[in-house]
């Protein structure tokens, strides 16, 4: 039995524990039919031309964890941003850990999707927002919707802001030989609300993990959302991250994605601008080695006039690693005065490393300012010679150049402690002690 067949047959067992009369279950039933019809994406699909899931489909993943595991905070502390006080929503092998978490209902709701699905007090929000931004057609999103049960539920009412940032942490213990996880996150920031969120997926052993995640983010009028994705996992961990963002008038949403480790990472990041004077920011840093693979697919759909979008992705690829960047900008005819910027710069450190970059612009308006750029190359020999002539060893000089190359993406990180943490991870990835305080 291949993975598709196992998932479809497992849905029957999943249904046994669900309320079949709940409106969400209708969404689940439609979603599993779509996945059953289409199956996993393949290289025959244009959007998956350079990324294959075939090797994952052959692995016998456990769909439901067989063991509940408790972890001590001291053993996983390093995966938290522990330098500051935060709310925490922590899952261990897909199961909520109350011991490691800190949630709240003090003016805002920072809790679980399972609670939101089951408790009447959350039903209005679920009916209005759940599965409204996510694709009904994309097959892996449908798979996640079919098995949607647990994840982070964050609701920020009008004119509110949580007292501190929120961390979402997914830990995989390795108690299963191979485990598939499907977290579903719903984040709603109503009008004039503000929130900062950090999300991380982390394996604790070398066992295979395949995470198929879906996050929906809704930003009301004048809302501000900062979302940080830290992807620095083990070489046996694969992640497909589907994020759908719907913005209303004058809202600001910024997503920073740090892809610094993992076997296979596919980021599908989709912005839908449903109002005027919207600002959308998409930034990313990728540093890979070995045979690691990262695929960034972005979409910004400008549907209304007087909006901006800014994309800036940097990639550093060593050994036999591979990267993909596909950035698509759509400007509807009505979306005059759009200002859309997209930039993708890459450095190849090895003859065996590769990057496939494809910027796409579909512009149907005439009064717009849209630009895109892409560079693929190696470190500048003249700049390297200059640094070495100043007494900096070759290895450290290369690291300094790579750090400077990626650093401008970090400048817009609005949580200082997170910026320091990412700086240190990048320095460690480069394998050199930087000559400055991290």
**Mean pLDDT per 10-residue run, the chain (438 residues)?**
94 84 89 97 95 96 86 94 97 95 96 93 94 97 97 98 97 95 98 98 96 98 98 97 98 98 98 98 96 98 98 96 97 97 95 94 95 90 85 84 86 94 87 49
What pLDDT shows up at residue 386? 82
Residue 334: in which H helix or E strand, if any? none
DSSP state of 27: H
Q: For position 433, what pLDDT does the model report?
A: 63
Residue 334, φ and ψ in degrees, nearest 5? -75, -15
Q: Is the Cβ–Cβ distance between 173 and 71 less than 8 Å?
A: yes
pTM of the entire structure?
0.95
What's the pLDDT score for residue 65? 85
pLDDT the model gives residue 366: 93
Torsion angles phi and psi, residue 225, rounded to 5: -125, 125
* Contacts of residue 368, Cβ cutoff 8 Å, sequence gap at least 6: 331, 335, 336, 337, 338, 339, 340
Return the closest-CA partner of residue 170 out of 148, 151, 188, 155: 151
At 307 the pLDDT is 98
* Assigned token pair, 316: 């550093």
């Amino acid at each position: 039995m291949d993975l598709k067949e196992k998932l479809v047959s497992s849905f029957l067992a999943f249904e046994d524990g669900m309320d079949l009369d709940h409106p969400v279950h209708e969404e689940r039933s439609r979603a599993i039919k779509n996945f059953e019809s289409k199956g996993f994406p393949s290289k025959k699909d244009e959007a998956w031309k350079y990324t294959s899931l075939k090797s994952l489909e052959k692995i016998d993943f456990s769909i439901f964890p067989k063991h509940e595991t408790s972890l001590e905070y001291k053993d996983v502390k390093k995966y938290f941003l522990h330098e500051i006080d935060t709310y925490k929503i922590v899952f261990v092998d897909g199961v909520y850990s109350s011991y490691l978490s800190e949630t709240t209902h003090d003016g805002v709701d920072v809790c679980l999707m399972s609670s939101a699905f089951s408790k009447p007090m959350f039903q209005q929000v679920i009916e209005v927002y759940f599965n409204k931004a996510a694709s009904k057609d994309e097959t892996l999103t449908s798979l996640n919707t079919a098995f949607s049960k647990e994840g982070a539920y964050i609701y920020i009412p009008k004119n509110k802001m949580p007292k501190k940032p929120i961390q979402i942490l997914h830990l995989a213990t390795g108690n299963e030989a191979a485990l598939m996880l499907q977290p579903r996150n719903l984040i709603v920031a109503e009008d004039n609300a503000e929130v900062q969120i950090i999300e991380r997926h982390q394996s604790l052993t070398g066992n295979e993990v395949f995470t198929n995640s879906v996050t929906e983010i809704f930003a009301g009028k004048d809302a501000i959302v900062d979302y940080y994705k830290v992807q620095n996992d083990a070489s046996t961990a694969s992640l497909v991250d589907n994020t759908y963002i719907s913005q209303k008038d004058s809202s600001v949403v910024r997503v920073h994605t740090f892809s610094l480790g993992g076997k296979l990472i596919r980021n599908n990041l989709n912005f839908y601008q449903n109002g005027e004077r919207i600002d959308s920011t998409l930034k990313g840093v990728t540093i890979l080695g070995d045979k690691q693979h990262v695929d960034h697919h972005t979409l910004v759909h400008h549907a209304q006039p007087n909006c901006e979008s800014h994309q800036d992705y940097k990639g550093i690829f060593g050994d036999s690693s591979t990267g993909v960047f596909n950035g698509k900008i759509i400007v509807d005819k009505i979306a005059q005065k759009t200002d859309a910027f997209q930039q993708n710069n890459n450095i190849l450190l090895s003859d065996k490393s590769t990057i496939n970059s494809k910027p796409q612009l579909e512009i149907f308006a005439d009064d717009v300012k849209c630009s895109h750029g892409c560079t693929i190359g190696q470190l500048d020999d003249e700049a390297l010679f200059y640094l070495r002539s100043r007494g900096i060893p070759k290895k450290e000089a290369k690291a300094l150049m790579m750090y400077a190359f990626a650093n401008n993406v970090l400048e817009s990180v609005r949580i200082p402690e997170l910026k320091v943490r990412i700086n240190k991870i990048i320095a460690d990835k480069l394998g050199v002690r930087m000559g400055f305080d991290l």
